C-alpha cells in the first residue's frame, strides 16, 4: 500500500508511473488527497474540542473546590455538549479513515523505472537465456502422456477424488516430487535462508498484509465459517511472520524459506496450454523471502535471481528470464523477473518462478518497520521468489529428459530419488 505522504509529495510521478500498468490513477489519487485533507481538518477540530473540554474540566474542579458550585454546573453542561461533539467527530474521523484505507487498497504499487511499458505478457522483456534445448527422439510425448505411460501421475484419479487440477502422484512420481522439494530446501538453506514450516491457512489480516486481499479474493479458497483462507503461496504466511514487528537495523537482512502446498481457484481454462501439470488448483512450491534495508533491496533481488539461476543450471534445464512489463506486473510488485523453462515436447515456455521486490508496499500494510541508525522507525523492503514451483519443473524434467528407454533423472537429484531412471 502506498503511503499518503508519498502520494501527496509525488502526485504526478505516481500517476505517470501507474500509466505503465495501464492504470488511470488521476481520479483516485485526487480522492485520496481530498480525503486526507478532510481527515486532517477533522483531527484538528477533534483535538481542539478535546483540549477545550479538558481545560473546562480542570476549571470545574477549581470552582467546586472554591465553593462556586453554580458556576461549575453551568460549565458541566458545556462539557457534556463538547463530549457529544467529540464523539461525533471521532465517528466521522474513523469513517473517513476507513474510506481512505479502502481507496489506498485499490491503488497498485508504483513500478520501478526499469519496468517496461506494455499491455500483456507479449510485451515482457527477455533479459537472459541459458541452456541448450535437447533434441528428442521421434516418439517423444508431452508430460501428461508420459505420466500415464509410466504410471507416475494419475490425473483421472485426482479428478475422481476432488476434481480437475488435483493430481495424484504415485510411485517414482511421488518420490521425484519429494526429491525436488528436499533439493530446493537444501539449496536455499545452504544459501543462508532459514527454513520454516508454515500454516496452510491464514486469517483475513494476513491476506490484507501481503496484498492478496482485496485484490485476489476471488482466486483464494475461503473457509467461510472460520473466515480463513487456504494459502495461494508460502509468501502469505511467511511474510506475515513480520506483521506488526519493529526490527533493529542490525537484524537485517532476514531470509527465510519454506515448502507448502498452494491452492488457487483461478485454474479452469481449457486447452493444451493448461493440460496436465501446466495449471493446477493445488500444487507444491518452495519459496524464498527476504526482509531488507531499503538501500540494498535491489542488490538482494539480483542475489535471488542468481540463486535461482544456479538451481536451474544444476538441473540442466533450458530457461530464460523475463522482466515483466507494467501490464503484466503483479498488483503489489515494483519489479518482477519471471523464470521460464522450455518444454521441448510442448514446444513452449513454461513459467516456473517469479522473483519480486515489493519495496515498502507490503511493509506499509504489515506495519513492518526497523529502527534505523538515527533511531527513527522506517519501513523495510520485502521480496519473495519461487525457488521453485514444482509442477512445471517436474513437467520440464519429464519432457526434456525423456529417452526411448525411459525418463533419465538429472544427476543432481539422483542422491535424493535413489534411482536414475523412470521406466
Q: Give the start-to-end residue ranges of the domains of the chain.
A: 4-105, 121-422
Establish whether 156 is an annotated binding residue.
Answer: no
Q: Is 95's pLDDT higher than 80?
A: yes
Establish whether 233 is an annotated binding residue.
Answer: yes
Establish whether 333 is an annotated binding residue.
Answer: no
Residue 336: other Cβ atoms inside 10 A = 24
Give dist(CA 385, CA 383) in Å, integer.
7
Q: Is 267's pLDDT higher than 70?
A: no
Confidence of residue 215 (pLDDT cuts 50, 70, 90): confident
Residue with cell 523477473: 337
Give me the mean pLDDT over the 282-304 stretch. Answer: 98
pLDDT of amino acid 316: 97
pLDDT of amino acid 76: 85
Establish whether 86 is an annotated binding residue.
Answer: no
Establish whether 405 is an annotated binding residue.
Answer: no
Establish whether 80 is an annotated binding residue.
Answer: no
Fold of 121-422: BirA Bifunctional Protein; domain 2 (3.30.930)
pLDDT of amino acid 273: 64
Give me the mean pLDDT over the 320-332 stretch. Answer: 97
Give dist(CA 321, CA 309) in Å, integer.
9
Confidence of residue 258 (pLDDT cuts 50, 70, 90): very high
Which letter does DSSP use for residue 150 in this model? T
Q: Which of 223, 185, 187 is nearest to 207 (CA)?
A: 223
pLDDT of amino acid 74: 82
Establish whether 354 is an annotated binding residue.
Answer: yes
Give dist(CA 18, CA 109) in Å, integer.
8
Establish whether 287 is an annotated binding residue.
Answer: yes
Could you report the per-residue pLDDT of 366-423, keeping only the tens digit for each? 999 999 999 999 999 999 999 999 999 999 999 999 999 999 999 999 999 999 999 9
What does the block give as the cell for 19? 500509466
Burial class (CB in 10 A: 0-12, 13-18, 19+), 94: exposed
Q: Is 170's pLDDT higher than 70?
A: yes
Could you report the per-residue pLDDT of 64-78, keeping only the tens digit for each? 888 888 888 888 888
Establish whether 266 is an annotated binding residue.
Answer: yes
Put simply, whether the predicted model's pTM sits higher than 0.75 gets the answer yes
Confidence of residue 113 (pLDDT cuts 50, 70, 90): very high
Residue 78 CB partners (closer than 8 Å, separation 6+): 56
Q: Which of 187, 229, 181 is nearest to 209 (CA)?
A: 229
pLDDT of amino acid 64: 84
pLDDT of amino acid 109: 98
Q: What average pLDDT does the structure give for the chain?
A: 95
Establish whether 377 is an annotated binding residue.
Answer: no
- Domain 4-105 in CATH 1.10.287.40? The answer is yes
Asked whether 379 and 360 are in contact (CB, 8 A), the reply is: yes
Of 70-74, 316-320, 333-337, the range with the lowest mean pLDDT is 70-74
Q: Is 196's pLDDT higher than 90?
A: yes
Across 279-324, where does the E strand assignment appear?
282-292, 319-323
Amino acid at each position: 500500500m502506498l503511503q499518503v505522504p508519498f502520494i501527496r509529495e509525488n502526485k504526478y510521478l505516481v500517476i505517470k508511473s501507474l500509466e505503465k500498468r495501464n492504470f488511470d490513477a488521476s481520479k483516485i489519487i485526487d480522492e485520496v488527497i481530498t480525503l486526507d485533507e478532510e481527515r486532517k481538518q477533522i483531527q484538528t477540530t477533534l483535538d481542539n474540542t478535546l483540549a477545550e473540554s479538558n481545560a473546562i474540566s480542570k476549571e470545574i474542579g477549581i470552582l467546586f473546590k472554591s465553593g462556586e458550585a453554580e458556576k461549575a454546573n453551568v460549565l458541566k453542561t458545556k462539557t457534556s455538549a463538547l463530549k457529544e461533539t467529540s464523539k461525533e467527530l471521532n465517528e466521522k474521523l474513523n469513517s473517513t479513515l476507513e474510506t481512505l484505507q479502502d481507496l489506498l487498497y485499490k491503488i497498485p504499487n508504483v513500478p520501478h523505472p526499469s519496468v517496461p511499458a506494455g499491455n500483456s505478457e507479449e510485451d515482457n522483456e527477455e533479459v537472459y537465456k541459458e541452456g541448450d534445448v535437447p533434441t528428442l527422439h521421434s516418439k517423444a510425448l508431452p508430460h501428461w502422456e508420459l505420466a500415464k505411460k509410466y504410471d507416475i501421475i494419475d490425473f483421472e484419479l485426482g479428478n475422481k477424488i476432488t476434481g480437475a487440477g488435483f493430481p495424484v502422484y504415485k510411485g517414482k512420481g511421488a518420490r521425484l516430487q519429494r526429491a525436488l522439494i528436499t533439493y530446493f530446501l537444501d539449496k536455499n538453506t545452504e544459501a543462508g535462508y532459514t527454513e520454516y514450516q508454515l500454516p496452510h491457512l491464514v486469517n483475513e489480516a494476513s491476506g490484507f498484509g501481503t496484498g492478496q486481499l482485496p485484490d485476489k479474493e476471488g482466486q483464494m479458497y475461503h473457509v467461510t465459517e472460520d473466515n480463513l483462507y487456504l494459502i495461494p503461496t508460502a509468501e502469505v504466511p511467511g511474510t506475515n511472520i513480520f506483521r506488526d514487528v519493529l526490527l533493529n537495523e542490525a537484524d537485517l537482512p532476514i531470509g527465510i524459506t519454506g515448502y507448502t502446498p498452494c491452492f488457487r481457484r483461478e485454474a479452469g481454462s481449457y486447452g493444451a496450454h493448461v493440460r496436465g501439470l501446466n495449471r493446477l488448483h493445488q500444487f507444491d512450491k518452495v519459496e524464498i523471502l527476504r526482509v531488507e534495508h531499503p538501500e540494498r533491496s535491489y542488490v538482494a533481488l539480483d542475489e535471488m535471481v542468481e540463486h535461482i539461476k544456479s538451481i536451474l543450471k544444476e538441473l540442466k534445464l533450458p530457461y530464460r528470464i523475463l522482466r515483466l512489463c507494467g501490464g503484466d506486473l503483479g498488483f503489489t510488485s515494483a519489479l518482477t523477473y519471471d523464470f521460464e523453462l522450455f518444454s521441448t515436447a510442448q514446444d513452449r515456455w513454461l513459467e516456473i518462478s517469479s522473483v519480486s521486490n515489493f519495496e515498502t508496499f507490503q511493509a506499509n500494510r504489515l506495519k513492518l518497520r526497523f529502527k534505523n541508525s538515527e533511531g527513527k522507525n522506517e519501513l523495510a523492503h520485502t521480496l519473495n521468489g519461487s525457488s521453485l514451483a514444482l509442477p512445471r519443473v517436474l513437467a520440464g524434467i519429464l519432457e526434456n529428459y525423456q529417452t526411448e528407454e525411459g525418463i533419465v533423472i538429472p544427476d543432481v537429484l539422483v542422491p535424493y530419488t535413489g534411482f536414475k531412471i523412470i521406466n
